Amino acid sequence: MDEKSDSLVTDDLSDKSPVFNVTSSRLQMFVDSDWPQPMICNAETEKADKKAKRRIKKKSEEIARDNLVTIFKLVSKELMDSSLVHGRLLDDEFVPLQQLFTVLEHIFLNGLKVKKLSQIKSMLGGNKDFYSILEQVQKTCTEAAELSNTVKEASNIKTQLGKARAWIRLAMMQKKLADYFHILISNKDMLREFYEAGAVLLEEDAHILQGLMVGLNCIDCHLSIRDNLHLDDPVGSIDYSLYLSEASLPGPDIDVTECDSGAADLTVALDQNRFLEEHNTHLTSTLNDIKHKLQTLQESHDCLLENTSLRKSCSKTYKQRMISTGRRITD
């Protein structure tokens, strides 16, 4: 009985030992091969990720700048074409002019640095401020100083964005928008204080925009500042559908000769406007020269009168002395 029980125990142990061995081997196999290896983030991986992010950011900035320049080309061309067709003063209700101002706002807002307080206001529904940038023009241009004073006197404007819009509209009516814009983009050191690297005003694209603005000088517009109730509205969106619709693309039903004649008329009008502006500049320069010469002649005339008066006084004194001397000799 004892021998049988011992044999049973031995058999049981022998039967159980392979199970334990299999289980241990499976555990060992799982530990060696099936357990996921930990990921190690080294300095090279972080450096590569940062480089990729910078490359993506730079590419996005380039696309944003290209989009702004392209849409400004389309908007300015549409505005000039429409102004030739209407042949009148353009007002605030003219849609192409509204789109031009909207695009200009996006140009000035591109890459604009936002301070912490302004960022909180922007998150709460406020507007970014670029009016302080426009005010920098008056430091080198007296006409811009008068323009800024006019904006400050407008009591109906409550926000900085509204003041910036009024400033741009007044510059447009003065036909000085391109000149003021040139002053801004020429001062890169000042712009770097307000804009992030890669902003359109800090790149060469700004000179393309300035060249396009010169063509806007042929447009006559009358824009209300004091009676405009929409100057304090939030920043609007650019309506790309006005320039990307199928109707605006040349097709088989469009007479190409009419397009060519319209382009020719526009070219002639721009050439005439450029000639008149150059002639006006020449006349202004000539007038300033004449005024300077007239002032010089007036000063010379005053000097001659003063010398003549002095000589007469000296001659009179001399005669009186001679007379008194002659009397003494006679006595």
Output the six-digit token pair for 79.
């505005």
Q: What are phi and psi of 161, to 5 degrees?
A: -65, -40
* In a domain? residue 272: no
* In a domain? residue 295: no
**Tens digits of residue pLDDT in 41-56:** 567 777 788 888 888 9
* In a domain? residue 218: yes
Which pLDDT score is estimated for 315?
Answer: 84
Considering only CA atoms, which of 70, 64, 102, 81 is closest in space to residue 208?
A: 70
Which pLDDT score is estimated for 241?
Answer: 86
The H or E element that residue 179 is part of is helix 177-186
Which pLDDT score is estimated for 90?
Answer: 87
Whether 110 contacts 201, CB under 8 Å = yes
Whether 137 contacts 180, CB under 8 Å = yes
CATH code where residue 184 lies: 1.20.58.900
* In a domain? residue 12: no
Distances from the Cα of 79 to the Cα of 84, 239, 269, angstroms: 9, 14, 14
Q: What are phi and psi of 222, to 5 degrees?
A: -125, 110
Which pLDDT score is estimated for 168?
Answer: 96
Considering only CA atoms, which of 84, 98, 102 is closest in space to residue 265?
A: 84
Which pLDDT score is estimated for 274?
Answer: 66
Q: Is 114 exposed, middle or buried (0-12, 13-18, 19+ CB in 10 A)?
A: middle
Q: Which residues of the chain have pLDDT under 50?
A: 1, 3-27, 30, 116-117, 119-126, 247-250, 252, 254, 256
**Tens digits of residue pLDDT in 233-262:** 998 899 888 887 654 444 545 454 555 555
- CA-CA distance, 252 to 246, in Å (whole number)? 12
Q: What are phi and psi of 90, to 5 degrees?
A: -90, 140
* In a domain? residue 315: no
- CA-CA distance, 81 to 242, in Å (whole number)? 14
* In a domain? residue 195: yes
* In a domain? residue 31: no
Q: Give how many domains the chain has, as a whole number.
A: 1
* In a domain? residue 221: yes
| Containing structural domain, residue 135 | 56-246
**Of how many residues is the chain composed?**
331
Handedness of CA 86, 92, 93, 97 (dihedral sign): positive
| pTM strictly above 0.85 | no
Which pLDDT score is estimated for 127?
Answer: 53
Which pLDDT score is estimated for 68?
Answer: 94
